[in-house]
Amino acid sequence: MSEIWSVAQESPVSAALVLLQLACFLGFGVLLAKQDMATHRLPNRLVASWLAASLAVIALLGIFRSDLHGVLIGLLGLLLLGGGYLLLTLASGGAMGMGDVKLAGVLGLNLGYYSLPSLFFATLLAFVLATLWVIGGVVARKLTLKSAVPFGPFMLIGSFIALLMAR
């Protein structure tokens, strides 16, 4: 069983917090994906709101589970994934934006609480999904290899799958 489901089974409070975390993930995720697909932007106000909600949920999980270590690992996940995407953004010459970096931090916090290896899995999934999307678009003649493709939706899908499978 994955870590998130194990945490949810510990107590009614843990279950409620995990459900709230998943609801935030889906709610903010859908809003951000729609915005990114429409404008190629991830609005700071949405990312910041999700970060605030995530910090609250992770802190409450830490308090109710007496799990300061998990909270600290979640914060480490924020730094690692956000920092990794910052490096990718700087190296990409404008192919990725700072919205992706900020989103990566929020995703890293949510994933890191449960599993640091899930950060790698989420990133790998995001790039594989984006690559398959571009290949499919090129084959269908809807995209070219130079087409701008919003990366946020792939980050969100990859992270959600990794969250559900985290060990």
pLDDT per residue of the chain (167 residues) written in tens, 0 to 9? 689 999 999 999 999 999 999 999 999 999 999 999 999 999 999 999 999 999 999 999 999 999 999 999 999 999 999 999 999 999 988 789 999 999 999 999 999 999 999 999 999 999 999 999 999 999 999 988 888 899 999 999 999 999 999 88
Count: domains in the chain: 1
156: containing domain: 3-165
Question: pTM of the entire structure?
Answer: 0.95
Helix (H, G, I), strand (E, B) or coil at 119: helix
If you search the block for the tokens 């790039």, which residue do you land on?
127
The CA distances from residue 82 to 8, 20, 66, 85, 99, in Å, are 26, 23, 26, 5, 10
